[in-house]
Amino acid sequence: MKFPKNLTDKLETRKQNNALRQLPSATCNIDFASNDYLGFAKSETIFHQTHQFLIDNDYLENGATGSRLLSGNHPLYAITENQIAKFHQAESALIFNSGYDANVGFFSSVPQKGDFILYDELCHASIRDGIRISSAKSYKYHHNDYEDLERLLQFCHTEQPTIIYIATESVFSMDGDAPNLEELTNLAEKHQAHLVIDEAHALGVFGNQGEGLIQSLQLQDKIFARIMTFGKGLGCHGAAVLGSHQLKNYLVNFARSFIYTTGLSPHAIATILIAYQYLQTQNNETNQLRANINSFNQQKMQLGLKPMFVQSKSAIQSAIIPGNEKVKAIATQLQQNGFDVKPILSPTVPEGQERLRICLHSFNSEKEITTLLSLLSTFVFEKQ
């Protein structure tokens, strides 16, 4: 059957803009691209402990067999959700199949018609997609701009009764920066708004045990919902929404991305459980990651690269190099020198904000960081 012309034209436009996405091939280059911040995804210890846990507890099934509301709610779910809730000092946790599913499920079902959602303009696509499905009214505010947010909050209060949700991320996935969470929680309290924080890129990175930025600031009791994603710092798959028992009960009844999907397998849930236990008892990886972040920030300053980077104290370091063609060329040079660094192109980011997204890990050596930044300095200044 002939492929529709309008779809062919869209692909051709992407090609002409040097923005066509393609699945990458496997590489043996040094990893500065993945979200596996602590190396848990490749941890043989976690792999073997998970396998042994399943054998010891007689969980020998390969799949969940159905949605959790039908046949897929195997006993490991309750054990793991209780562990997650306790670790994060939350009343309850509800596991979703992915961070995308969690955000779409929450934002499409919780805010109701007549409610307001105010969201940071750089929120992840999964948050925006959930908002798009929602019946609530939504407005974006300028990135981390609380004067603009308060203007919108005051506007919302002109309609009564008013239920307001504020959505943001504790660490932004493309910039690696963080909001002023103390100021944000004060603003939410002032206007009686419900804060929803995506902690996908903070889990495993911030806090004494990698519990996230919210808990490291002792703000967990002021947040309506937290979304914890396991595919980054925990190195596995899935996500959980943290909140009250009422919120969990509500999502079980109304979040369509939870209700109408097959559950995760016992192996997937066991991996989450063991990864949390490892995070709780071992902090070598978290400490080494923080040391690498500090080293990276110091070296980019010494090399005169700081102005091109978005300010970040997280594992995500973004060097703004405008233009798809230019940023792809520099990424290719780094890859040819053995470093896996990916360019982020428009339209994934706004035109003019194309960047190299450098992800730091606990397993990156000091020498690797030094060499990467030295090469980047050489290639950037050659292009000027």
How much of the chain, in percent, has pLDDT values that exceed 70? 99
Domain topology for 29-43+283-383: Aspartate Aminotransferase, domain 1 (3.90.1150)
For domain 59-281, the CATH class is: alpha beta
Q: In percent, how much of the chain has pLDDT > 90?
A: 91
- 208 DSSP 8-state letter: T
User: What string of DSSP letters covers 295-322?
Assistant: HHHHHHHHTT-GGGBPP-SSSEEEEE--
Give the pLDDT confidence of 30-67 residue by residue, as tens digits. Answer: 999 999 999 999 999 999 999 999 999 999 999 999 99
Are 175 and 316 a contacting pair, CB within 8 Å?
yes
Burial class of 211 by CB neighbour count within 10 A (0 to 12, 13 to 18, 19+)? buried
Longest CA–CA span in the chain (Å) reads: 62
Q: Which long-range contacts (CB under 8 A, 24 or more apart) does 273-277 make?
A: 273/53, 273/76, 273/79, 273/80, 273/83, 274/46, 274/49, 274/50, 274/53, 275/40, 275/46, 275/230, 275/234, 275/235, 275/236, 276/80, 276/83, 276/84, 276/87, 276/234, 277/83
Dihedral of the alpha carbons of 272, 274, 280, 286, in degrees to the nearest 10: -70
Three-state DSSP state, 343: strand
In this prediction the pTM is 0.94
C-alpha span between 202 and 205 (Å, rounded): 5
Q: Give Cα 63 distance to the centre of its chain.
A: 26
Lowest mean pLDDT among 24-28, 153-157, 167-171, 345-349: 24-28
Average pLDDT of the chain to the nearest whole number: 95
Give CATH 3.40.640.10 domain extents, the chain. Answer: 59-281
Q: What are residue 229's DSSP bridge partners?
A: 239
- Answer whether residue 160 shows pLDDT above 80: no
Q: What pLDDT was estimated at residue 384?
A: 57
**Whether the predicted pLDDT of 381 surpasses 80:** no
Given pLDDT bands bounded at 50, 70 and 90, which one contains residue 239? very high
Could you give the residue range(s) of every CATH 3.90.1150.10 domain in the chain? 29-43+283-383
The whole-number average pLDDT for the span 321-340 is: 95
pLDDT at 265: 96
Q: Is 198 helix (H, G, I), strand (E, B) or coil?
A: strand
What are the percentages of helix, strand and coil residues in the chain, rounded to 5?
45, 15, 40
What is the rounded average pLDDT of the residues 180-193? Answer: 97
Which residue, among 195, 254, 181, has the nearest Cα to 225 in the 3D structure? Answer: 195
Q: Has residue 222 got a pLDDT over 70?
A: yes
